[in-house]
Amino acid sequence: MTDRAIAVAAWESLFRAQVTVMRALADTFPSELISLNEYDVLFNISRSPGRRLRLKDLNRSVLISQPSVSRMLDRLAARGLVTKTPDPDDGRGTIVAMTDEGFRLYRGVALQHVVAIERNVGAELDDGELVELADLCRRMRLAIADPLVGEPADAAN
């Protein structure tokens, strides 16, 4: 059994690090092109086979509420960055797909964003520590939730 105080201290440290890093990333994010939340949605769609994802799976992968995701997708569709079609396997569901234009925009922003990620996440940790951090975070997430859509099968083990 884990010591409660150690678990709380670890959570506090993880939370503070996440807030600090997210603020630093938001400060340098190219928001004149898309918002950080729009980027997160496009990122999750880009990881899915064929850059297509069921709306209900997308909602499981992002932090914003389902109604907010739906409104955002309507805006992204109006800009020609995604399409929304009925799910042929679930009459109540929707499939969201990234268009070629959406992928070009996402990829351009991602190339800028990765530089900031490297500067803010990779600067103080060596490669071994980054691998360990990624593994620890994945293990915590998988202990609580199912693997994310688009996550490689071997990452769930």
β-bridge partners, 98: 82
Residue among 150, 151, 116 at smallest CA distance from 137: 151
Q: Answer yes or no: pTM beyond 0.85.
A: no
| pLDDT of amino acid 157 | 47
The tokens of 85 are what? 């079609």
Strands 82-87 and 52-54, bridge-based pairing: unpaired
d(CA 122, CA 109): 19
**Three-state SS at 148:** coil
User: pLDDT, tens digit, for every residue of 5-47?
Assistant: 999 999 999 999 999 999 999 998 987 889 999 999 999 999 9
d(CA 44, CA 152): 13
| pLDDT of amino acid 97 | 97
Lowest mean pLDDT among 5-9, 63-67, 97-101, 148-152: 148-152
User: pLDDT, tens digit, for every residue of 59-84?
Assistant: 988 988 888 999 999 999 999 999 99
